[in-house]
Amino acid sequence: MKTEKVDLKNFSPSELESFIASFGKERYRSIQLLRWLHKIGVHHFDEMTNLSKGFRQELNQICFISSLSPLQIEKSKDGTQKFLFQLEDGNRIESVLIPEKKRLTLCLSTQAGCAMGCRFCLTGKMGLKRNLTTAEILNQVLAVKKTLSDKASVTNIVLMGMGEPLANYANTLKAIELMTHPDAFKFSSRRVTLSTVGLIPELESLAKEKTRFRLAISLNASDEETRSRLMPINRRHPLKKLLELCRRFPLPPRARITFEYVLLEGENDSPKDAKRLLTLLKQIPSKINLIPLNEAPGIPYQKPSEERVRQFQEILMEGGLTAIVRASKGAEISAACGQLQGKTTD
């Protein structure tokens, strides 16, 4: 009976150590493998020159090293790049590389499609195809890194591309553990952000995790009725319960929860909404990212005027909240927030 080969990139550091121990090998061999797989990003066991030839042959018989290559790369005038990847089963996902003055941020997908159905997001219209494996999440990072010049490097990771990260809990957390591991990707935990619509049971589990990263919650409304209309998940995980959890969520010293708020003309952008938001976020260490809607065919809303956005921001800031208006990046190539669809452009 043929044994199916295992993808080494799906192992967490502790799982990889146990796997290597089953060969009768020393613990430090798993550290060597972590470095080859994630820090260096090799594609073949033959490239692992500090492992014996016999061990490499053993690994090759029962393991493989997966990888992704971009099917298409689009670049916008502002320098944003969108990467389209085709997975082994034919599903497609997208990642976005966003250049800013002092950082280069990579936005990753955690699912092919999304089941959340937010009405201002094109990804939600796809429905959920499936969860990505840990390897498929990490391979987006490795594939994008290979396209960069020697002088450029990814500085920040945001898990807010296609999919709801906490709906793919185990694989997402394992990927973050490897992203922040000193012998793997070695990103600072302060430079990795997980964005969620607010799945309460998963957030409660997250509060007990040892893996550290920044937390962002997609809020988008200041009352239950509006949020339920915009984000159907609110009917299962109401705003009130979500914010109660946020108030007691354990944060490292000086850390804050980021609340993302997509501004939709006439829906959630009134001065009344802003004032209600101030009340809602009391006693939560937080900041707010205001995101004027990225309009697209199929999204039944419009972007508010700049004056309306500025007025909303000023009310929040006068009330003592840090409120940042996020400039849209990559909209012309459908790479902006809420526009990822995993389609090939003609």
Name the active-site residue from 107, 118, 121, 337: 337
278, two tokens: 């101030």
**What CATH number does the domain containing 23 carry?**
1.10.150.530
Q: Residue 101's pLDDT is what?
A: 87
Q: Are residues 25 and 40 in the same domain?
A: yes
Q: Are residues 128 and 232 in the same domain?
A: yes
Spatial separation of the C-alpha atoms in residues 177 and 17, rounded to whole Å: 14
Residue tagged 């007025």 (tokens) = 311
Query: Where on the phi/psi map is residue 297: left (φ > 0), alpha (ψ -120 to 50), or beta?
Result: beta
CA 97 to chain centre: 12
pLDDT at 344 over 90: no
Q: Residue 334's pLDDT is what?
A: 61
Name the active-site residue from 17, 74, 94, 267: 94
Residue 298 — very low, low, confident or very high, per pLDDT cuts 50/70/90? confident
Q: Are residues 110 and 200 in the same domain?
A: yes
Tell me the backbone φ, ψ of residue 167, rounded to 5 degrees: -80, -10
List of E strands, 264-321: 286-292
Query: Where on the phi/psi map is residue 42: left (φ > 0), alpha (ψ -120 to 50), or beta?
Result: beta
Spatial separation of the C-alpha atoms in residues 243 and 315, rounded to whole Å: 20
Instruction: Establish if 306 belongs to a structural domain.
Output: yes
pLDDT at 85 over 60: yes
Spatial separation of the C-alpha atoms in residues 128 and 217, rounded to whole Å: 20
208-224 pLDDT tens trace: 999 899 999 999 999 99
Active site residue 337: yes
Q: Are residues 78 and 209 in the same domain?
A: yes
Q: Are residues 305 and 266 in the same domain?
A: yes
Least confident of 125-129, 155-159, 223-227: 125-129
Among the three residues 19, 44, 64, which one is the final residue of a domain in this structure? 64
Contact call for residues 346 and 130 (beta carbons, < 8 A): no
Residue 346 — very low, low, confident or very high, per pLDDT cuts 50/70/90? very low
Active site residue 94: yes
Among the three residues 38, 64, 90, which one is the final residue of a domain in this structure? 64
Spatial separation of the C-alpha atoms in residues 95 and 264, rounded to whole Å: 24
Instruction: Establish if 339 belongs to a structural domain.
Output: no
pLDDT at 337 over 80: no
Contact call for residues 232 and 211 (beta carbons, < 8 A): no
Question: Does 159 or 326 have the greater pLDDT score?
Answer: 159
Instruction: Establish if 344 belongs to a structural domain.
Output: no
Q: Residue 110's pLDDT is what?
A: 98
Residue 333 — very low, low, confident or very high, per pLDDT cuts 50/70/90? low
Contact call for residues 95 and 107 (beta carbons, < 8 A): yes
Q: Residue 2's pLDDT is what?
A: 53
Spatial separation of the C-alpha atoms in residues 106 and 157, rounded to whole Å: 5
Q: Are residues 143 and 190 in the same domain?
A: yes
Q: Are residues 78 and 142 in the same domain?
A: yes
Among the three residues 64, 81, 99, which one is the final residue of a domain in this structure? 64
Of 18-32, 70-84, 167-181, 331-345, the range with the highest mean pLDDT is 167-181
Domain extent, residue 51, equals 6-64
Residue 124 — very low, low, confident or very high, per pLDDT cuts 50/70/90? confident
Torsion of CA 240, 242, 247, 252, to 10 degrees: -170
Spatial separation of the C-alpha atoms in residues 108 and 25, rounded to whole Å: 34
Task: Give the number of domains in the chain.
Answer: 2
Instruction: Establish if 141 belongs to a structural domain.
Output: yes
Q: Are residues 162 and 181 in the same domain?
A: yes
Q: Are residues 14 and 118 in the same domain?
A: no
Residue 331 — very low, low, confident or very high, per pLDDT cuts 50/70/90? low
Q: Are residues 36 and 103 in the same domain?
A: no
For 293-314, what is the mean pLDDT? 93
Q: Which helix (H) or strand (E) holds 94?
A: strand 92-99
For 105-132, what is the mean pLDDT? 93
DSSP per-residue letters across 292-336 = E----TT----PPPHHHHHHHHHHHHHTT-EEEEPPP-SGGGT-S
pLDDT at 339 over 70: no
179, two tokens: 């992203």
308, two tokens: 């309306």
317, two tokens: 């800031």
For 32-57, what is the mean pLDDT? 95
**What CATH number does the domain containing 75 carry?**
3.20.20.70
245-264 pLDDT tens trace: 999 999 988 999 999 999 99
Q: Residue 336's pLDDT is what?
A: 55
Residue 303 — very low, low, confident or very high, per pLDDT cuts 50/70/90? very high
